[in-house]
């Protein structure tokens, strides 16, 4: 690729790579080993940003009583994505986060109690399991150790919405969300506040 064809706002990383907020462009002839190393670094950056965003949200919640509205506005990420990042970050204090495992590995076991989290992460680390392999092993263990349960459908929640629905839909749309997601976010924030000491 010729550097002249790059977007005018692109910044250079040496003479071999150019980037902006939407792209990374690599010049033809980029060495294979450096390409592999770059992929590894980008993967670590993606993993790191999930932890950082979760910790950022948790701090904002406790320091400023702000939860997802500002997070959505500032990051452009969806409510559920941010909620997941926060949930996993809260489930694992920094000293318990495994450097050799991804954020996604931690997310797979975040709902467990800490000793069980550690047990599964120890196994994943020792065996070199991918996130998908960890998920499969957990599912397999659950199927072997749990007696069959009758399936229960989750309760269906029905709301009576009168004249306010148009205003609520507009508010949700202004934040880039569907009404159901917006209402869920508000209910979650209210529940979080009501359970705080």
The answer to whether residue 44 sits within a structural domain is no
- What pLDDT score was predicted for residue 56? 93
> Is 11 or 83 the better-scoring residue by pLDDT?
83
The answer to whether residue 83 sits within a structural domain is no
Residues 6+ apart with CB under 8 A from 100: 125
> How many domains, in total, are found in the chain?
2
- Tens-place pLDDT, residues 177-196: 777 778 888 888 888 777 76
The answer to whether residue 105 sits within a structural domain is yes
The answer to whether residue 114 sits within a structural domain is yes
The answer to whether residue 23 sits within a structural domain is yes
**Which range marks the domain in which residue 107 is found?**
93-145
The answer to whether residue 128 sits within a structural domain is yes
CA count, 13 A, side-chain hemisphere, 55: 11
Entry pTM = 0.62
> Is 52 or 188 the better-scoring residue by pLDDT?
52
The answer to whether residue 10 sits within a structural domain is yes
Quote the DSSP letter at residue 154. Answer: P
The answer to whether residue 55 sits within a structural domain is no
């Amino acid at each position: 690729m010729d550097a002249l064809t790059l977007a005018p706002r692109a910044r250079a990383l040496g003479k071999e790579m150019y980037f902006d907020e939407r792209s990374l462009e690599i010049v033809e002839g980029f060495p294979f080993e450096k390409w592999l190393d770059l992929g590894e670094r980008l993967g670590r950056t993606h993993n790191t940003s999930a932890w950082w965003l979760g910790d950022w949200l948790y701090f904002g919640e406790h320091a400023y009583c702000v939860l997802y509205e500002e997070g959505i506005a500032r990051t452009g990420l969806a409510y559920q994505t941010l909620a997941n990042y926060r949930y996993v970050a809260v489930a694992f204090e920094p000293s318990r986060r495994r450097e050799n495992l991804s954020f996604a590995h931690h997310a797979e076991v975040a709902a467990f109690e800490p000793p069980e989290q550690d047990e599964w992460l120890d196994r994943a680390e020792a065996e070199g399991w991918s996130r998908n392999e960890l998920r499969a092993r957990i599912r397999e263990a659950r199927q072997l150790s749990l007696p069959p349960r009758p399936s229960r459908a989750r309760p269906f929640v029905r709301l009576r919405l009168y004249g306010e629905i148009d205003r609520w839909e507009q508010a949700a749309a202004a934040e880039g969300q569907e009404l159901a997601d917006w209402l869920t976010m508000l209910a979650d924030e209210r529940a979080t506040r009501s359970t705080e000491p």
